[in-house]
Chains A and B, each alone.
Chain A
């Protein structure tokens, strides 16, 4: 069976700073990585592959040509082939246009997929929309916030432990289905150097706008329903008091005094 994992290349956002003068992102020295939640999705796919026979994993990404890096990273971590959806015509896509393009590419290039796994959100955009939108476009049932993903014994359904506000629910859906993943292994996997070398011999197919059956006006910026009109730095933080070089007991006293002053303790 074929599992499709959608992955995204994101800047390592913990390092992203905004230029206070221009309000734009300082990208200098900021590395790109595989979105952690996408890595979790891949992690679940690899675990399924390791537990049942005849599973192959196709990773799909849409982005500029350098997004190939996250495909290679995925191939090192256990995926079997990669699909790079790249074309200048895809640039500026909002979540809708992105989802449409990804869904169409999956339909065209991996028509025999049975399970689609995606990260619950990307750490740059944080919309959590692309997964459900792909599911809708492909007409698949969806399960979001998965922390455990497994096939049932018949391999006709997927069984997902889903994070809900009160705890967990275990949910089943018939295949084909789409699952968004919120957590993987506690510690990130480390491929062997052999895996790293071998990943470079695995197949990566490149898909451009011409390969998809979508009219041009549905692609990229043109096909987007939302438009960004302004980008600006977040409002300035409040002023504050920082106490240093205190013994623990004195620190506790200071906090206690503050809590009293603010009437959190009577």
Chain B
């Protein structure tokens, strides 16, 4: 329950404005909480006087059983209109459908969006039973506080058994905040999910840079929450004729609750900003490319193959390419049809980020380079010499 320390409370009303459920009010000059409270914790978080606290207990099996449904955070592609989900959301719906069927429960997509138009049909087509839509002008663009508050409200009110987030920058930004506020277990960057005989979610993820896999459960808390890597699970086939139930979830959100302010946006041009996450062909460079100028050779080859250029953490940290193009454990997980690794040694952290590529070609001077273990075709040699020759051959073929 929500405890109010009336001695510490200054009646500043910040919590009242921030309660998504309208559960707080001033009654006779002191703060009062009513039965609408879901213990989402938004008020505790905004109180600057430590006047609010929530007592939480570990749930009993009976309590756990009251949590039902697999929820997927349907991250919106902010570039689209009407708003459509990112590809990873569809991947999660596919996996979520499997989990929901095993549990015999619903699969629900949760959309947080601004007042503009949202495509909700797509969730039904990809297996969801229901879509919960949370709309507010402050949700039009992402903010940690705004999304945390609303997600906490949805979870405390709907009590799902499982919540899945894409392990995208935003997903990894606010999922841990939601988990910390609601005292939930959260497993990061999962690459495998299944339901065991006890109905528990078994989450598998790489650790130690991918040298080892760990399976993790959350035995005493609900919901069980995970962030899941993009490009690990397939996008499901279309569910034809599935209808979707749409539920509007009322949102209370105050500008003051959002404590960060974007003062400048420096987006890279379209070309360098092109998403490597969804690319069909990637030509990636590593330290073996020797210098930044040589990356143009890779760029040219990528263009000829209808793909994009990317790179390893090593060259991103040297400033040769922007972070938006970093493949690997601390960058983006990619899953293209074709991945050409040029001068990349294949540190396990890199391999983890590209191992779901369908076809891999690696070029490296060092015959012992680890990247060769992952490659369908490995060539020992100098990428800087080989790549332009290859590009020329493709050019020749195209023009003949």
Contacts and interface: CB of A to CB of B under 8 A. Distances in A.
Q: A and B: direct contact (Cβ < 8 Å)? A: yes
Interface of A: 11, 13-14, 16-18, 23, 25, 37, 94-96, 99, 120-121, 123-133, 135-137, 139, 141-145, 147, 159, 161, 163-174, 177, 182-183, 186, 224-234, 237-238, 240-246, 248-249, 251-256, 258-259, 262, 264-266
Contacts of A232: 212-213, 215
B36 interface: no
B262 A226 contact: no
Interface in B78-106: none
Interface in B354-400: 359, 361, 363, 367, 372-382, 385-387, 389-390, 392-394, 397-398
Nearest to B324: A165
Contacts of B259: 141, 173-174, 177
B379 A243 contact: yes
B177 A230 contact: no
B255 to A, nearest CB: 14
Nearest to B266: A168
Interface in B173-220: 173-177, 179-181, 183-189, 202, 206-220
Given A133-B180, A248-B389, A256-B390, A123 B349 contact: yes
A178 B385 CA distance: 46
Given A126-B188, A128-B172, A248-B381, A14 B209 contact: yes
Contact of A136 (B45, B219, B220, B382): B45
A23 B168 CA distance: 30
30 contacts: A18-B211, A95-B176, A95-B188, A99-B180, A124-B208, A125-B207, A129-B175, A132-B173, A133-B177, A135-B177, A139-B48, A144-B172, A161-B266, A166-B324, A167-B266, A167-B268, A173-B261, A177-B259, A226-B216, A226-B218, A231-B214, A237-B373, A240-B373, A246-B379, A252-B389, A255-B361, A264-B281, A264-B305, A264-B337, A265-B305
Interface of B: 44-48, 144-145, 148, 168-169, 172-177, 179-181, 183-189, 202, 206-221, 259-268, 273, 275, 281, 305, 317-319, 322-324, 329-330, 337-338, 347-349, 359, 361, 363, 367, 372-382, 385-387, 389-390, 392-394, 397-398
Contact of B264 (A94, A141, A169): A169
A251 B363 contact: yes
A167 B180 contact: no
A144 B212 contact: no
Contact of A225 (B209, B220, B265, B367): B220
Contact of A129 (B188, B213, B216): B188
Contacts of A248: 381-382, 385-386, 389
A245 B378 CA distance: 12
Nearest to A218: B183
A168 B267 CA distance: 6
A124 B209 contact: yes
A165 B180 CA distance: 25
B361 A234 contact: no
Q: Is the interface of B mostly helix, strand, loop or mixed?
A: mixed
Nearest to B226: A226
Contacts of B176: 95, 127-133, 136
Contact of B266 (A94, A159, A170, A249): A170
A110 to B, nearest CB: 17
Given A96-B179, A186-B319, A255-B377, A227 B262 contact: no
Contacts of A161: 266
Contacts of A168: 265-267
Contacts of A234: 206, 210-213
A17 to B, nearest CB: 7
Nearest to A233: B212
Contact of B263 (A129, A139, A171, A240): A171
Given A132-B176, A248-B385, A252-B390, A13 B268 contact: no
Contacts of B185: 94, 96, 224-226
Given A234-B213, A258-B377, A126 B262 contact: no
A244 B305 CA distance: 24
Contact of B214 (A13, A37, A121, A228): A228
A200 to B, nearest CB: 30
Contact of B215 (A230, A238, A254): A230
A233 B207 contact: no
A23 B374 CA distance: 20
B265 A169 contact: yes
B208 A11 contact: yes
Contacts of A242: 367, 372, 375, 378-380
Nearest to A227: B217
Contacts of B329: 123, 126
Given A121-B330, A230-B215, A16 B186 contact: no
B263 A13 contact: no
B120 to A, nearest CB: 24
Contacts of A18: 211-212
A255 B175 CA distance: 43
A249 B389 contact: yes
B260 A230 contact: no
A103 B110 CA distance: 30
- Give me the 8 closest cross-chain CB pairs, A-B, nearest first: A225-B185, A141-B259, A136-B180, A252-B389, A127-B188, A170-B264, A132-B176, A129-B176
